[in-house]
Chain A
Amino acid sequence: DAKTTQPNSMESNEEEPVHLPCNHSTISGTDYIHWYRQLPSQGPEYVIHGLTSNVNNRMASLAIAEDRKSSTLILHRATLRDAAVYYCIQYIYGQNFVFGPGTRLSVLP
């Protein structure tokens, strides 16, 4: 079963920052947090992942809470192309990725 909870949907205005939350209250010290997004009619696309520290890449930033029980994916300036379903996945060492329902992000022009 998926170990994470996310809001079903969120809306953002174009060119504004978006903060997508995820709760993973059962996380242990070796579990990674991964984020993927899926655009319509495409396979999931890797966005970012991390263990303890905040992470940045060209697509997004990942802010992990100090107790690691929650994290936030930050898109710094949303564009229409960022409209997708965003999945937060708690990778449990020795197991495999289990996708939760995800958050459907709508970006308004």
Chain B
Amino acid sequence: DTEVTQTPKHLVMGMTNKKSLKCEQHMGHRAMYWYKQKAKKPPELMFVYSYEKLSINESVPSRFSPECPNSSLLNLHLHALQPEDSALYLCASSPSGEGIYGYTFGSGTRLTVV
């Protein structure tokens, strides 16, 4: 299995809802990442987990809450989002936290906040 699987592919949520995005990989990778991508812009790093510990939080608002229950699974919990949070949310993994290896990205979850 050489894929990163993200679910759901599409999500529409209201500003008072709580929802979660899920990311899974079975390649034995020990680093996992969340990126946010707005239309026609490059991906922006949000969070990095290395060996199941949060190592990077790029000043992301607390309405985004990451969780790494085990080495194969990464969640992003969403609460009280704003319309400007609508974007493509990408998950990626790599063998370790070092960029000497390539990253594998999922296809993303397209989130719309109404």
Q: Which residues of A does B touch, CB under 8 Å?
A: 2, 32, 34, 36, 41-46, 49, 51, 87, 91-93, 95-102
Q: Which 3 pairs show the lowest CB-CB distances between chains A and B?
A: A91-B99, A43-B105, A99-B42
Kindly state the separation between the CA atoms of A34 and B103 in the bound complex, as whole angstroms.
10
B102 pairs with A49, CB closer than 8 A: yes
Does residue B107 face the partner (Cβ distance < 8 Å to A)? yes
Q: How large is the interface on B (under 10, 10 to 19, 20 to 34, 35 or more residues)?
A: 20 to 34
Does residue B104 face the partner (Cβ distance < 8 Å to A)? yes
Known: A96-B33, A96-B56. A46 touches B43 (CB 8 A): no
Q: Is the interface of B mostly helix, strand, loop or mixed?
A: loop
**Chain B, range 85-114, C-beta contacts under 8 Å to A:** 90, 92, 97-100, 102-108
Q: Which residues of B does A touch, CB under 8 Å?
A: 4, 33, 41-45, 48, 56, 90, 92, 97-100, 102-108
Kindly state the separation between the CA atoms of A49 and B94 in the bound complex, as whole angstroms.
14
On chain B, the residues within 8 Å of A93 by CB distance are 98-99
Known: A43-B105, A43-B107. A97 touches B45 (CB 8 A): yes
Q: Is the interface of A mostly helix, strand, loop or mixed?
A: loop
On chain A, the residues within 8 Å of B42 by CB distance are 2, 87, 99-102
On chain B, the residues within 8 Å of A95 by CB distance are 99
Known: A44-B43, A87-B42. A97 touches B99 (CB 8 A): yes
With both beta carbons as reference points, the residue of chain B lying nearest to A90 in the complex is identified as B99
Kindly state the separation between the CA atoms of A106 and B59 in the bound complex, as whole angstroms.
35
Known: A87-B42, A96-B33, A98-B45. A43 touches B106 (CB 8 A): yes
